[in-house]
């Protein structure tokens, strides 16, 4: 009796599930080969990379139950966290022992049964979480399960990779199997067409470009893909998100506009690349029933898989979220459109990873050539002009010894942004003059839109050549605390993308304790954000726009660095060209947008700060009372 047959005969779905009654593995046919591979014990590792809520937990329970009932062996289940074990998995194990009569008779009672240890047919099932090195290194096991592998720690208390630690539990069992399941997370993905079969497989990617644990394991194995036959021409294809299409409304100008979740839900479909036939969600059940797993090097002939898969210790499977019997294509499309409308990469990643079972590439994957950046230029506006959608503006400044490169970016609804101006203020940054010019610029406006926030890089220290060793950036920000904040980038991973600390500032030889708040920025996080926007659909919320006359120098600097991973797995940014100042400015713009929570902006007129003029007038009056003014001149505050 195989595990899927065991589930059908011995288990029922709970009344609270969407499909109450007898357990029916054929509802999720893409899980049956996975469970049979575990039962066959021909491979040391069996891997399933897939979407969330697709039947993997029920399948693991089937496998456990069948093995305890027919061939008992010590088992280990590894979940991502202690809370997950306590609230999600232990109750399911308890329910399994209650609803399957064959197991209920064999389950121990009393002190032998605890929250993290169950004894069935005289052998233990241990429940461990990925953060416990002791549990992962304890008793031997003939069958191990690792759930949500992408949520595990990369290194458990200095003891090593939890996947490898779990593998060691089976060293004394010749037929040991380690089953690993998870939704994928981050990584670059590409599609390659098999020249013989015509099937579009996921390409093998350099492991340095993949941080997802489950995808790395999947790629190291046989790389089976779930394939469907077209209901019209019967040609098999591999479904993935790029296959899904939906309608967009046509505007008065005859151009397609932005879709809505409701329209996407009503019109979602797939077009067969072989015959052009339209495939709807109503066809899914039949296609799933006829679905097959096929690996690179194989092809499907007359409904049968022909050829050998790659030779590997690991048998690995991937299935698209489009195959889920619990979610329609319309719901998948609506979820994506809704996430894209927020402009928040985290929302989009949740749909791509959990909803569709695919990798998400932060930073948009490969960095395009500079000429591709120039293609983002909008013919609707020029440098210095403010597009109609702008509600507020931010200024960012990189500091060099002889100049201040800067960018001004306008922000609109859902984090959509426009580069208003990119330029340089020349002058010795140890002197006051260049900073006074910056101050005048910062307190100006753009078509009536004032600067809401200015971030200035404090990594370079101008001021060392002066008689009084002041830090000009900190001094400037202390004098303009309402608008300006100093920043420093961090190349090491941070708990949060932005951290703050108070520092003392030397103002002409006098210390001001805690007078300036320094913002420490996660360099990797915000540079990835910029590179993600380079490949963002400009018509979607969160679009990243450039003026029609954007300079070649600016475009080149946007791709002046590339993100790579060291052998240790740590990401680092490597310069491709000398100048990267505008790129640094735009990374600070991403931080400024985060600080102002621009994703929550909605359409409307520019935010004018009604009290700004009164506030500035009061400040000027206060300055005059001590013989100074904002903009210098006689009695300037800079003297």
DSSP characters over 181-220: EE---BB---EEE-TTT--EEEPP--GGGB--HHHHHHHT
* pLDDT computed for residue 92 by the predictor: 92
Integer Cα distance of 158 and 601 in angstroms = 44
Cα distances from 184 to residues 58, 349, 357, 362, 418, in angstroms, run 19, 10, 6, 13, 33
Integer Cα distance of 124 and 130 in angstroms = 19
Going from the first residue of the chain to its last (639 residues), give the mean pLDDT of each consecutive group of 10, the final group possibly shorter.
Answer: 73 57 86 96 96 94 93 93 90 90 87 87 89 67 94 64 87 94 90 92 86 94 98 96 92 78 96 93 97 96 93 96 97 94 86 95 66 88 94 96 96 95 94 94 93 94 57 90 93 88 72 78 93 86 93 93 72 83 97 95 76 42 33 26
Are the C-beta atoms of 59 and 11 separated by less than 8 Å?
no
Are the C-beta atoms of 558 and 583 separated by less than 8 Å?
yes
DSSP characters over 132-174: -HHHHTSS--SEEEEESGGGS-SSSTTS--HHHHHHGGGTT-T
* pTM (two decimals): 0.71
* pLDDT computed for residue 539 by the predictor: 82
* pLDDT computed for residue 13 by the predictor: 57
Q: What is the DSSP letter of 250?
A: B
Q: Could you tell me which of 569, 451, 441 has the C-alpha nearest to residue 161?
A: 569
* pLDDT computed for residue 176 by the predictor: 96
* pLDDT computed for residue 637 by the predictor: 26
Give the CA dihedral 152, 522, 184, 168, nearest 10 degrees.
-30
* pLDDT computed for residue 297 by the predictor: 93
* pLDDT computed for residue 331 by the predictor: 97
Are the C-beta atoms of 542 and 414 separated by less than 8 Å?
yes
Integer Cα distance of 156 and 151 in angstroms = 12
Strands 314-318 and 224-229: parallel
* pLDDT computed for residue 233 by the predictor: 96
Tokens standing for residue 162: 């939890």
* pLDDT computed for residue 493 by the predictor: 79
Integer Cα distance of 159 and 151 in angstroms = 17
Integer Cα distance of 418 and 377 in angstroms = 10
């Amino acid at each position: 009796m195989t595990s899927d047959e065991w589930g059908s005969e011995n288990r029922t779905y709970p009344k609270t599930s969407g499909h109450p009654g007898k357990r029916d593995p054929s509802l999720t046919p893409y899980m049956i080969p996975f469970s049979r591979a575990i039962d066959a014990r021909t491979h040391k590792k069996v891997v399933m990379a897939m979407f969330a809520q697709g039947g993997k937990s029920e399948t693991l329970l089937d496998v456990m139950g069948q093995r305890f009932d027919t061939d008992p062996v010590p088992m280990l289940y590894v979940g991502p966290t202690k809370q997950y074990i306590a609230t999600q998995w232990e109750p399911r194990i308890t329910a399994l022992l209650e609803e399957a009569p064959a197991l209920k008779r064999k389950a121990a009672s009393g002190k032998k049964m605890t929250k993290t240890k169950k004894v069935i047919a005289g052998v233990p099932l241990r429940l461990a979480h990925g953060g416990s090195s002791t549990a992962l290194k304890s008793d031997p096991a003939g069958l191990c399960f690792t759930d949500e592998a992408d949520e595990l720690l990369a290194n458990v208390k200095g003891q090593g990779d939890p996947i490898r630690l779990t593998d060691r539990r089976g060293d004394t069992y010749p037929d040991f199997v380690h089953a690993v399941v998870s939704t994928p997370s981050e990584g670059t993905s590409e599609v390659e067409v098999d020249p013989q079969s015509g099937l579009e497989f996921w390409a093998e990617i350099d492991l340095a470009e993949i941080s997802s644990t489950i995808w790395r394991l999947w790629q190291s194995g046989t790389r089976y893909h779930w394939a469907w036959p077209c209901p019209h021409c019967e040609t098999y294809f591999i479904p993935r998100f790029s296959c899904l299409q939906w309608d967009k409304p046509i505007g008065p100008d005859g151009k397609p506009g932005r879709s809505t979740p409701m329209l996407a839900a009503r019109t979602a479909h797939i077009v067969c690349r072989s015959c052009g036939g339209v495939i709807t969600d109503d066809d899914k059940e039949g296609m799933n029933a006829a679905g097959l797993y096929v690996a690179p090097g194989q092809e499907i002939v007359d409904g049968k898989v022909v050829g050998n898969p790659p030779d590997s210790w690991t048998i690995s499977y991937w299935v698209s979220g489009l195959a889920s019997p619990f979610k329609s294509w319309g719901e998948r499309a609506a979820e994506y459109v809704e996430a894209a409308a927020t402009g928040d990469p985290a929302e989009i990643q949740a749909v791509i990873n959990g909803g569709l079972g695919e990798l998400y590439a932060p930073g948009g994957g490969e960095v395009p050539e500079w000429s591709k950046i120039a293609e983002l230029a909008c013919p609707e506006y020029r440098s210095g002009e403010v597009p109609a959608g702008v509600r507020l503006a931010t200024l960012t400044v990189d500091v060099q010894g002889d100049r201040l490169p800067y960018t001004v970016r306008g922000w609109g609804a859902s984090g959509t942004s426009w580069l208003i101006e990119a330029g340089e203020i020349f002058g010795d940054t140890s002197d006051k003059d260049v900073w006074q010019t910056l101050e005048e610029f910062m307190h100006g406006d753009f078509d009536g839109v004032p600067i809401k926030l200015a971030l200035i890089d404090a990594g370079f220290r101008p001021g060392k050549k002066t008689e009084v060793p002041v830090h000009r950036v900190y001094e400037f920000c202390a004098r303009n605390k309402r608008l300006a904040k100093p920043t420093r980038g961090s190349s090491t991973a941070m708990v949060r993308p932005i951290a703050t600390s108070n520092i003392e500032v030397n103002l002409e030889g006098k210390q001001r304790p805690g007078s300036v708040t320094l913002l420490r920025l996660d360099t990797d996080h915000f540079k990835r954000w910029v590179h993600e926007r380079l490949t963002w659909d400009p018509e979607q919320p969160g679009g990243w726009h450039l003026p029609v006359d954007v300079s070649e120098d600016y475009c080149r600097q946007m791709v002046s660095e590339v993100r790579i991973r060291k052998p240790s797995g740590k990401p680092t940014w490597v310069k491709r060209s000398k100048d990267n100042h505008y790129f640094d400015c735009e990374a600070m713009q991403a931080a400024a947008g985060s600080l102002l929570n621009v994703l929550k902006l909605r359409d409307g007129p520019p935010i004018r700060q009604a009290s700004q003029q009164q506030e500035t007038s009061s400040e000027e009056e206060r300055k005059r009372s001590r013989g100074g003014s904002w903009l210098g001149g006689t009695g300037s505050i800079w003297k």
